[in-house]
Structure 1
Amino acid sequence: METEEGEDRTPLLKESQPGTVPACCSARYNLALLAFFGFFLLYALRVNLSVALVDMVEPNTSLAKNTTSNVCPEHSSTINVPRNTTIPGGYLASKIGGKLLLGVGVFGTSVFTLLTPLAANLGVGYLIAVRALEGLGEGVTFPAMHSMWSSWAPPLERSKLLSISYAGAQLGTVVSLPLSGLICYYMNWVYVFYIFGALGVLWFFFWMWLVSDTPETHKSISHAEREYILSSLKDQLSTQKSVPWRPILESLPLWAIVVAHFSYNWTFYTLLTLLPTYMKEILRFDAQENGFLSALPYFGCWLCIILSGQIADYLREKQNLSTVCVRKCFTLIGMIGPAVFLVAAGFIGCNYALAVAFVTISTTLGGFCTSGYSINHLDIAPSYAGILLGITNSFATIPGMVGPVIAKNLTHNNTVGEWQTVFYIAASINLFGAIFFALFASGEVQDWAVSGYHLHRN
């Protein structure tokens, strides 16, 4: 009987190393780049309202007072994580295909963004309705992309390909924050929505023209690349029509991802929602007033996501480390690191520069989780990766609703001691999630995720 680590490697890939099918100009990396720009625009579309709203409500002083206190904290809490992603999004991706679902999601978001100035002129109710419809479009994009990568990403290239595609969200945030401000300053706030919305529509046409759901249906993929991808995935995909819901919900490796995702989001929301409040109320410093400092954590996270994806696959391919070992190590770094700096934030005194440094370091280290639990869905069940992501993200939305309420109840007097309690709770939850994932996560394709095959390691 082989050890778990030995079984977790992928012998079938030794016959066709990635080096034999160059990454440059390949169909799979073209897909990653197009996805990168798609998520770049998607998150730019999410951020632009936060910047433009200052000019939008300026004539109405009472409205400005009502929205200013809500938008900045909410902006910090919703930028990075796909909170709108739900189980139906993953199920739709498995039925109609990730290409169409992701394309329509970005296209719909872009169209409603173009309609935002008109909605704003008609009234607040119309504006809220348009932004809510945008959220529906955004919610299907991540499970749709996961569904596509289940057919496109060779096991030993998953970390690199997925990190490239999803890192667009971070860079979209970094670029759109200052760029939206410049557009408002030199032009008019309506052009923030027109420019980004038009770019999203343009991206949609390129996406529909150049992308295919599977390598088999791609028009210009080389024969060598098609065979390389298909041979690497031949024993990992399921051909059964129905979704094995009961085995999915009984899968301990899936619940390891659920717990890790829930815990990570709790700390994430604490850092990017509550810590700015702590800095403003306790340290008397508002980081939102400085656009550079607002974008710095996202830039650090973007850089970490890109680099960690390369490192993760290097360790798996060149150093022969097992998939489960890499996923666990990267998750531990990406969760314990932010927890440590979160606790430290309660003991920084009045040093706001140190507070900004802690936020940046914590968010940057969190980028390791992209090559950890975040793509582990593809390791354990490639055929149902979109559905699994919908399940884990459904649980991961809870901290965004519960965390701020608990923190508010614990900080009635806004004392340092009260805030230290908030930080301790978040760090403890994060630590628990990291340990739970390290104990119960798997790097293997589960037996319920394949049809007609025995258990395989990836």
Structure 2
Amino acid sequence: MAKTEKSFTRKFPGCLTCVQVLNIMVLLGFMLNYALRVNLTIAIVEMIYGDKDNHTAILNSTHESLNVTQHPETVQQTRYHWDTKQKNHLLGCFFWGYVLTELPGGRLAEVIGARRVFGYSTLLASILTLLTPGAAALGFGWAVASRVVLGFLLGATWPAILPMASKWIPPMDRSKFMSNMMASSLGAAITMPICGFLIAHFGWESAFYFTGIIGVMWSVAWFAVVYDTPAQHPRISETELHYLTKVLPQEDSTKGHMPVPWRSILTSPPVWAIIITHGASVFGYFTVVNQLPTYIESILHYSIKHNGLLSSLPYLGKYLCALASSVLADSLRRTGKMSTTTARKLFTGFAVGLPGLLMLAEAFFGEDRIWSIAIFTMALTINGAVTAGYLGNGLDIAPNFSGTIFGMANTLSSFGGWLSTFMVGELTKDNNTSAQWQIVFFILAGTYLCGALCFVIFGSGELQPWNARAQPKAEVQPLNDEKVAA
């Protein structure tokens, strides 16, 4: 396999193969995916009025650090009187829509292709992002509605990519391809400081305009260069097409789409290992994604400029870890030094279990600025190794239904995303102190550790028998042979 792969790459020096272009576009797509989400988590700090004295102190600190001589109100023109419960309500309502399209999005990508599902969802989400400041101006209800619809659109994107990977990416390269999904963390790492800078200079509305415009531009490029299968791509070389067809037998479209074996899926321990572990891991991740800027501002007392930079550190580390662990896992599997099952369990235990232990440390050292930022950064960095663990495991056990399996897993994790914001809101709405946040960290620790244990016990990397198309009964009837003999 390695020789064939090198041969078609060398034959076209200086040119990108279609697989390489797909990798780039998926990487940029998931960077954008999280940019469209996390813009609110940093903007909301400046969208609403907090405690008057604390608010004034933060603004003064911000403008001193930026050497801004203008009056604060000339920089931050519009603020809303939303309380802590409303703020967490706005952060969490994204998942109301998100949970509705996870499973349909995965199955729809298996049927009509990921190109349209991922592309149109992102395009419409980008346009909606541009309209978000206007929605907030109309009232809190409109702001909530815009976030629910945004979640509805972006919910279909994640499970859509796995069916595309089953058509384009050789099995021993799939961990590395899945690391492109963790570029969402890289997108957050870049978006946080940029939005912090834009908000400080031009107001919180600029964060939505910036991410929305970038999203529209990406969507146009996506439809121009990405196709669902190698056979559909108009610019693919014969060498690359032959190679991909050889290592990735394509499903015969004349036979129609395979029906989902729901009974086999719902009774499969490896499938439930993916679902439960994904839910636990993402619960912890979303809690940090949505609440870290607020924690840094309210408990650690950093200004908005430093908030954006510090909030970005864990995401940058997560992507780098995802890329490194994926390359290592694929290398170990390709050389036969480690089976797929062992690799998936080892990297999942590391990526989900260790952050659980770090959340215990955060519970005791969370008030210290240096320790707190260091622990958050390490926890999310290590969590990036899920790309070599459970994240692409659906492609191992059932590539034909990988979108459906991932949709099921992300549906549960979406409930976890909403639950995390509800949990933090209820625990901190009347008493936003480090003692209350300590309870949050204990809950996160237990969730992470339970998820890791579940996959280590029940996870698998073996292809499941229900992934194959059932053979028609007529093909095994002896009557055919009797007719031929006659």
TM range (shorter): 0.7 to 0.9
In structure 2, C-alpha distance between the alignment counterparts of 1:327 and 1:394, rounded to whole Å = 21
Corresponding residue to 2:5 among 18, 25, 30? 18
In structure 2, the CA distance between the partners of 1:407 and 1:449, relative to structure 1 (3 Å rule), is same
Contact kept in structure 2, 1:77 and 1:400, CA below 8 Å: no
In structure 2, C-alpha distance between the alignment counterparts of 1:293 and 1:90, rounded to whole Å = 34
> Which shows bigger deviation, 195-204 or 293-302?
195-204
Partner of 2:213: 198
In structure 2, the CA distance between the partners of 1:77 and 1:426, relative to structure 1 (3 Å rule), is farther
In structure 2, the CA distance between the partners of 1:63 and 1:206, relative to structure 1 (3 Å rule), is closer
Partner of 2:449: 431
**How do residues 267-306 of structure 1 correspond to structure 2 at under 5 angstroms?**
267-269=284-286, 271-272=288-289, 285=301, 290-306=307-323
What is the aligned-residue RMSD (CA, Å)? 3.5
Contact kept in structure 2, 1:236 and 1:450, CA below 8 Å: no
In structure 2, the CA distance between the partners of 1:322 and 1:224, relative to structure 1 (3 Å rule), is farther
Residue 450 (str. 1) matches residue 468 (str. 2): yes
In structure 1, C-alpha distance between the alignment counterparts of 2:236 and 2:303, rounded to whole Å = 47
CA offsets per residue over residues 165-189 of structure 1, 9 Å max, x none? x133112111122222333444455
> Which shows bigger deviation, 189-198 or 166-175?
189-198
In structure 2, C-alpha distance between the alignment counterparts of 1:436 and 1:243, rounded to whole Å = 25
**What residue identity is the alignment partner of 1:448?**
W
Residue 43 (str. 1) matches residue 34 (str. 2): yes
Partner SS state of residue 115, structure 1: helix
**How do residues 30-179 of structure 1 correspond to structure 2 at under 5 angstroms?**
30-53=21-44, 64-66=80-82, 71=87, 86-164=102-180, 166-179=181-194
In structure 2, the CA distance between the partners of 1:235 and 1:338, relative to structure 1 (3 Å rule), is same
Taking structure 2 as the reference length, the TM-score comes to: 0.79
CA offsets per residue over residues 365-414 of structure 1, 9 Å max, x none? 00001221011111111111111111011112233344565677778978
Deviation, structure 1 residue 345: 1.6
Corresponding residue to 1:212 among 210, 213, 227? 227
Contact kept in structure 2, 1:331 and 1:368, CA below 8 Å: yes
In structure 2, C-alpha distance between the alignment counterparts of 1:189 and 1:274, rounded to whole Å = 18
Taking structure 1 as the reference length, the TM-score comes to: 0.83
Q: Which residues of structure 1 form unaligned runs of 5+? A: 1-12, 454-458
Deviation, structure 1 residue 86: 1.9
In structure 2, the CA distance between the partners of 1:141 and 1:26, relative to structure 1 (3 Å rule), is same
Partner SS state of residue 64, structure 1: coil
Q: Which residues of structure 2 form unaligned runs of 5+? A: 50-72, 472-486
In structure 1, C-alpha distance between the alignment counterparts of 2:88 and 2:441, rounded to whole Å = 20
In structure 2, C-alpha distance between the alignment counterparts of 1:32 and 1:393, rounded to whole Å = 22
Deviation, structure 1 residue 127: 3.3
> Which shows bigger deviation, 406-415 or 351-360?
406-415
Contact kept in structure 2, 1:276 and 1:287, CA below 8 Å: no
Corresponding residue to 1:321 among 316, 320, 338? 338
Contact kept in structure 2, 1:73 and 1:276, CA below 8 Å: no
Partner of 2:383: 366
**What residue identity is the alignment partner of 2:283?**
W
Deviation, structure 1 residue 97: 1.1
In structure 2, C-alpha distance between the alignment counterparts of 1:219 and 1:349, rounded to whole Å = 54
CA offsets per residue over residues 416-447 of structure 1, 9 Å max, x none? 78765654443233222212211221112211
Deviation, structure 1 residue 196: 2.7
Contact kept in structure 2, 1:73 and 1:274, CA below 8 Å: no
> Which shows bigger deviation, 178-187 or 155-164?
178-187
Partner SS state of residue 33, structure 2: helix
In structure 2, C-alpha distance between the alignment counterparts of 1:290 and 1:279, rounded to whole Å = 6
In structure 2, the CA distance between the partners of 1:212 and 1:61, relative to structure 1 (3 Å rule), is closer
> Which shows bigger deviation, 117-126 or 300-309?
117-126
Contact kept in structure 1, 2:284 and 2:448, CA below 8 Å: yes
In structure 2, C-alpha distance between the alignment counterparts of 1:169 and 1:349, rounded to whole Å = 26
Query: Larger C-alpha radius of gyration, 1 or 2?
Result: 2
Residue 265 (str. 1) matches residue 282 (str. 2): yes
Partner of 2:365: 348
Partner of 2:60: none
Deviation, structure 1 residue 341: 0.7
In structure 1, C-alpha distance between the alignment counterparts of 2:420 and 2:140, rounded to whole Å = 28
In structure 2, the CA distance between the partners of 1:278 and 1:371, relative to structure 1 (3 Å rule), is same
Partner of 1:182: 197
**What residue identity is the alignment partner of 1:313?**
D
In structure 2, the CA distance between the partners of 1:320 and 1:192, relative to structure 1 (3 Å rule), is same
> Which shows bigger deviation, 412-421 or 131-140?
412-421
In structure 1, C-alpha distance between the alignment counterparts of 2:266 and 2:435, rounded to whole Å = 40
**What residue identity is the alignment partner of 1:48?**
N
Partner SS state of residue 210, structure 2: helix
Percent of aligned positions that are identical: 36
Partner SS state of residue 86, structure 1: helix
Deviation, structure 1 residue 235: 8.7
CA offsets per residue over residues 174-232 of structure 1, 9 Å max, x none? 11222223334444554443333222222222111111100111112222222222222
In structure 2, C-alpha distance between the alignment counterparts of 1:182 and 1:415, rounded to whole Å = 28
In structure 2, C-alpha distance between the alignment counterparts of 1:22 and 1:404, rounded to whole Å = 47
Residue 391 (str. 1) matches residue 416 (str. 2): no
> Which shows bigger deviation, 264-273 or 296-305?
264-273
Deviation, structure 1 residue 116: 2.6
Aligned length: 436
In structure 2, C-alpha distance between the alignment counterparts of 1:108 and 1:160, rounded to whole Å = 28
